[in-house]
Amino acid sequence: MKNRIESVLLYLLPSVGAILWISTFFGVLMSGPRMVNADGDLGRHITIGGYILDNHLVPLRDVFSHTMLGEPLTPHEWLAQVLFAQVHRLMGINGAVLLAALVIATAFWLVYRQTRAQSGSLLAAAIVSILSLLASSIHWLSRPHIFTFLLLALWMGVLYQIKQGNTRRWWLMPLLMIAWVNLHGAFIAGFATWGLCAFGMLWERWFTRSEEREAPPAGFWKSYLLGGGFSLLATLLNPAGLGIWGTSVGYVANRYLVDHTVEYQSPNFHEPITWLLLLFIALLIVVLALRKRHTTTFQLFPAVAWLVMSLYSARNIPLFAIVAAPLLAKACVDFLSGLELPEILRRRVEKLDAGLLKVDLRLKGIFWPVLSVVIVVIGFSAGMTFTRDGTANAYDPAKFPVGAVDWLEQNPQRGEVFNYFPWGGYLLYRQWPQCLVFIDGQTDFYGEALTREYQRVIGLEDGWEAVLDGHNVGWVILPVKEHAARALEQLDGWQVVYRDGTSVIIGRK
């Protein structure tokens, strides 16, 4: 009887990991309106995923724009788009937010588990994991890139296992890569991290003193190279084959496109949301500098590299937090153990930490996360919201042309459209296939040439009218305060057919 009660309690009592998962899960749900309205890309992903579900075909040529119609298309997010479309059909926009919450919460639950395993400390793991997920919240969006959070955490877990002697686990790497390459184009982050960890191991061997050197386990290099090599082959198992590499690498290499994409810009440290990242970086620097133990370059090199990449591009902040969290927790434990604290205080803290860790390792903690998901699904079905201010997960009419598209459904315009770039995905969501967009957030597909044409019109640069004529544009939908909208209103041959506080539609007479 006692054993049965204990077994039940092990499942009912929430572990620290379960509490972290639940907190992150509801934290993402509370941010739903912000994630949905950050840009219009969610609408595009739902539309493309719906096309795949309806036609049982992954599009390899564009059918969503009039400017690139029929051009070769690399579907580097098709599987994630199918998932977003499916949950949208079941639960609407709430389904997309729920999917994002599940993925992000699971990703940082994995980070916590890896951090706890690396540091051997429950307290350090919990604190660092919370800091890492809060620092990464700057890029929490309901978009396919969240799957890279999850897969990078899983990928790092496999690399750690191989490093610790579980060399037979190398086959998990290509298995993860098959999913990664079809879920999101940032699968190259896995190879970058794999290469950086390998470089760290070689550095350890060649430039570290023998007494500080951490020798790899038997069979490490064979397993490590097998995992990386077969993962490379696994990237070919996607609808575009080898072309997936050209898209993923080619976009990052295009300076113009990167410079004109907001999420690729450096983080603005004058915004409060970035201050937790600064705290993370400062803490990492201090504890690494003051700890007395040798820092293994297997962890150090990828952490430093992703730190540099996060300072260059804000979209890399979550990846830095995921990679660096175990290193930070372990360094904090080593740093504190080297401090000259009163012996009685040290023993009490270590005893408390060890006791909590022992209990946490025994707890299953699965009941409450599952119950949380069930409650949210039932709540959404009943019309409940889980947001901070009680607003629904929907497109904000103050940010997107909701009223204008409502009007368009009753008053379709003739000719092709020129649309505001951030609204392209929303127009696809509401108007496709009746309306093919000029451009949307998929800049890796539209390329530099069309993006420059778009900028020429928006910036009223020389030849902007010729761009509209060249693409047979019959109507334009822009924010009411956009200079290009005001310029068009004053041109002969154009007239305003709709206007509200957010958007204006201008058609040819």
| Mean pLDDT taken over the chain | 91
Give the model's pLDDT for residue 2: 56
Q: What is the DSSP string of 151-220?
A: HHHHHHHHHHHHHTT-GGGGGHHHHHHHHHHHH-GGGHHHHHHHHHHHHHHHHHHHHS-TTT--PPPTTH
Calpha distance 22→112 (Å, rounded): 13
d(CA 437, CA 413): 13
* Distance from C-alpha of 62 to C-alpha of 397, rounded to nearest angstrom: 28
215 vs 327, more confident: 327
Residues 6 or more apart whose Cβ sits within 8 Å of residue 373: 25, 102
307-325 tens-digit pLDDT: 999 999 999 999 999 999 9
The single residue listed with the structure tokens 């009680």 is 390
- Alpha carbon dihedral 109, 113, 118, 122, in 10-degree steps, equals 100
pLDDT value of residue 236: 95
Instruction: Please tell me the least confidently modeled range out of 169-183, 250-264, 401-415.
Output: 250-264
**pLDDT at 292 exceeding the cut of 90:** no
pLDDT band at 109 (very low <50, low <70, confident <90, very high): very high
| pLDDT for residue 480 | 95
What's the pLDDT score for residue 116?
Answer: 94
pLDDT in tens, 333-350: 888 887 777 777 777 877
Q: Which residues are CB-contacts of 143 (< 8 A; sequence separation ≥ 6)?
A: 41, 42, 45, 100
Predicted pLDDT of residue 479: 96
pLDDT of residue 205: 83
Buried b (16+ CB within 10 A) or exposed e, 446-485: bbeebbebbebbbeeeeebbebbeebebebbbbbeebebb
d(CA 127, CA 441): 36
Q: What is the DSSP letter of 474?
A: E
- More confident position, 366 or 461: 461
90 DSSP assignment: H
Burial of residue 213 (CB within 10 Å: 0-12, 13-18, 19+) is middle
pLDDT exceeds cutoff 60 at 254: yes
Least confident range of 17-21, 172-176, 177-181, 388-392 = 388-392
The helix (run of H) or strand (run of E) holding residue 89 is: helix 78-91
Residue-level pLDDT at 3:
61
Greater confidence (213 vs 416) lies with 416
Q: State the CB neighbour count (10 A cutoff) for residue 153.
A: 23
pLDDT above 90: percentage of residues in the chain: 72
* Distance, CA of 43 to CA of 34 (rounded, Å): 14
Helix (H) or strand (E) holding 479: strand 473-479
What's the pLDDT score for residue 210?
64
Is the pLDDT score of 498 beyond 90?
A: yes
Q: Is the alpha carbon torsion for 340, 343, 344, 346 positive or negative?
A: positive
Nearest to 155 by CA among 116, 185, 123, 111: 111
Rounded to whole angstroms, the Cα distance separating 34 from 112 reads: 25
pLDDT of 126 strictly over 60: yes
More confident residue, 2 or 206: 206
Report the distance separating Cα 297 and Cα 303, nearest Å: 9
Distance CA 390, CA 384 (A): 9
Q: What is the pLDDT of residue 357?
A: 83
pLDDT tens per residue, range 176-203: 999 999 999 999 999 999 999 999 999 8
Pairwise pLDDT comparison (370 vs 341), residue with the higher score = 370
258 vs 266, residue with greater confidence: 266
Q: Is the pLDDT of residue 475 over 90?
A: yes
Confidence of residue 402 (pLDDT cuts 50, 70, 90): very high
DSSP-derived 3-state class of residue 240: coil
User: What pLDDT sits at residue 21?
Assistant: 96
- Asked if residues 319 and 302 have their Cβ atoms less than 8 Å apart, the reply is no
pLDDT per residue over 34-86, tens digit each?
Answer: 999 988 899 999 999 999 999 999 999 999 999 999 999 999 999 999 999 99
Q: Which two tokens stand for residue 57?
A: 């075909």
**What's the CA gap between 281 and 279, in Å, rounded?**
5
The overall pTM is greater than 0.85: yes
Beta bridge partners of 72: 61
Tokens for 137, please give them: 């919240």
pLDDT band at 14 (very low <50, low <70, confident <90, very high): confident
Q: Is the per-residue pLDDT at 485 higher than 90?
A: yes
The whole-number pLDDT of residue 421 equals 93
| Helix, strand, coil abundance in the chain, percent, nearest 5 | 65, 5, 30
Strands 494-499 and 503-508: antiparallel
Residue reference for tokens 């899960």: 25
pLDDT of amino acid 84 = 97
Look at residues 325, 312, 223, 323 and name the one whose alpha carbon lies nearest to residue 266.
312
